[in-house]
Structure 1
Amino acid sequence: MTQENSAIVRRFAEEVITQGQIDRTVEFVWEDVVEQVPLPGQGPGLEGVKDIIQAFRTGFPDLVFSVLEQIAEGEKVVSRFEWTGTHQGEFFGVPPTGRQVRVWGIVIDRLEKARIKDTRILMDTMGLMTQLGVIPSRAA
């Protein structure tokens, strides 16, 4: 079960997030999925997840989401990830900068019957905003 759940999370990352097949989100995520740490403005459930993925893909059309490491136990999968992309569209009110970014994070997914039931994403948002120039970088 743990290897199967890990594979499901990897497929979701590749097929939905990286490839942008957002209409396939329902194959991987329950309608009433709970995002434990929602992003600003994120709505509830499946539609909220789809909206956030679309926002990322609009801001970073060349986004690549890579799962670097996973630990799975029972119905939970912890994934250490990194995503890269070029800021080519508006992203949470930030106009396109043309800057390339590399962002790390960790996501904890709980699966039921081969679909994500709840999720917690911890991402280096401060690093992302610094790379976009929204937050000034610290002088060395």
Structure 2
Amino acid sequence: MALNLVGWNVVLDSNDADMLSAFYEKLLGWSRFPGKEFTVLANVEQRGFPTWITFQQVDNYEPPVWPTTLDEQQQMEHLDFHVKDVEEAVKFAMSCGATMSEIQCEDGWRVMIDPAGHPFCLLPPPPWIKEA
């Protein structure tokens, strides 16, 4: 048995949920739905199950440290975005306000940091994804 999904969602904490959602709105081109304590960014054009990210306002938010450092706030998740051209995606992400991490794990993809300190990765598509 499996869940009868109608969509999936990731929640990111931030001390400025509006600012962080605006960054990802520019990066992804998705629709933004502001709220008082959280803002939702949704891919409303997606066929099938929708995808969205919720940005939750947390006033005592501490950004994660990447890579992991003892006695520092640990990352609890990160986002992966599969793109056709990693280097072009890096340039675009930086124009939106991201920074590139000083530490990179592999040559084929890039670790980026969003304005609230969350790491995210820009990677080529996995081989099992067929281009439409």
TM surpasses 0.5: no
TM tier relative to shorter chain: under 0.3
Whichever structure has more strand as a proportion of its residues is 1
Using structure 2 for the length normalisation, give the TM-score: 0.28
Using structure 1 for the length normalisation, give the TM-score: 0.27
